[in-house]
Amino acid sequence: MPADSTARRNVLVLVAAQAVLGAQLPMIFTIAGLAGSSLAPNVCWATLPITMMVIGSMLTATPLSMLMQRFGRRAGFFLGAGGGAIGAAIGAYGLSTGSFTIFCIGALISGIYMSANGFYRFAAVDTASEAFRPKAISWVMAGGLLSAVVGPQLVKVTADEMAVPFLGSYLAVIVLNLVGSFLFLALDIPKPVPPAEGSPLGRSRAELIRNPTILVAMICATVTYALMNLVMTSSPMAVVGCGFGTGDAADVVTAHVLAMYAPSFFTGHLIARFGTERIIALGLTILAASGAVAMAGVQLENFFIALILLGIGWNFGFIGATTMLTSAHRPEERGRLQGLNDLVVFGGVTVASVSSGGLMNCSGGSVQAGWQMVNLAMLPFLILAGGALIWLWLRPQETRRA
């Protein structure tokens, strides 16, 4: 479609950015908990560095969104890469000095990149037609396929290459941010036009969140992302704690992240054919199946199958919820709603990340019991998201966008 030629070019840039800069996310999620276990004064706080990164993402979501609304996507993405590099440098210093506090501060600043990465999916639709939007979001998310391979494999290569474990991995993250940031020079998304005096400013945040479609989209996005984070954060510790090696944990994370992004090649087509609600419902069902497989045993194949299902469920649920959200707001509300959405989403992810370490390390009397509790904790939130989706289905069509 000629009208989408600019959008397709931007999608290619964002796919490349997702592949290169995005590789740092599976790297950090693989090693931060393991590094935290060696640095933390109490093992219950092993996942605090991951939690701090999510908190950093949550706190910067709204400011980043408003900054991009005023200065454009490129400015926000450059800032995100800078935050990723600085955060990794501080984290590396914390590792080299054995300081858990400094390591956590670095993770907090790394959250700036995590937040910016979340806006790639929104940037994909800025220049896209309505028909191309689901595909644009899916293709950008598919860029994570390469990061799913590159990130954990970089961990394998770099984790033990220096005297301080994982220090080499954090130095690699700095390089990824510095090199990958040059990709944004090719991004062609016009800066938003400042509203003229007297022009409509759109609905307030309170009015937006009362919109049934927006409310359900935010609930489903939050539950989907938070549960994925809850289980993924604990999985490396569970794999190692059940007698397998760090390399096995990295392989499980690789399989998981591949499963997160591989369906993106056809998720947009499925949404266009079957609708967002059905695809979100399918995602929630697959997440439930992931928990069932994880609770069935702690063999290596259980970890692989459970984490693969977790990734697929996240893909369908999160891309479906994002597509639903982008269809329910006007252009002048973009910065306000997208920042609010990611604030809520990463707020939920923060709670999940905090809970993950406590459930894994401080509930029950063994690694196996902790892993069971992590997966059992998914159930009430899946019921919440499923109930919200059913509520939206039962509403008359004309009231869904009220």
**Which fold is adopted by the domain 2-188+202-399?**
Growth Hormone; Chain: A; (1.20.1250)
Q: How far is CA 203 from the centre of its chain?
A: 27
Q: What are the pLDDT digits (tens) for 10-66?
A: 899 999 998 899 989 888 877 887 888 788 887 777 778 888 998 898 889 888 988
Q: What is the pLDDT of residue 93?
A: 94
Domain boundaries, the chain: 2-188+202-399
pTM, whole model, 2 decimals? Answer: 0.73
Residue 315 DSSP code? H
Residue 395 DSSP code? S
Whether residue 332 is predicted with pLDDT greater than 70 in this model: the reply is: no
Q: Read off the tokens for 157.
A: 């290569």
Residues 36, 238: contact at Cβ < 8 Å? no
Across 260-266, average pLDDT: 83
Residue 42 DSSP code? S
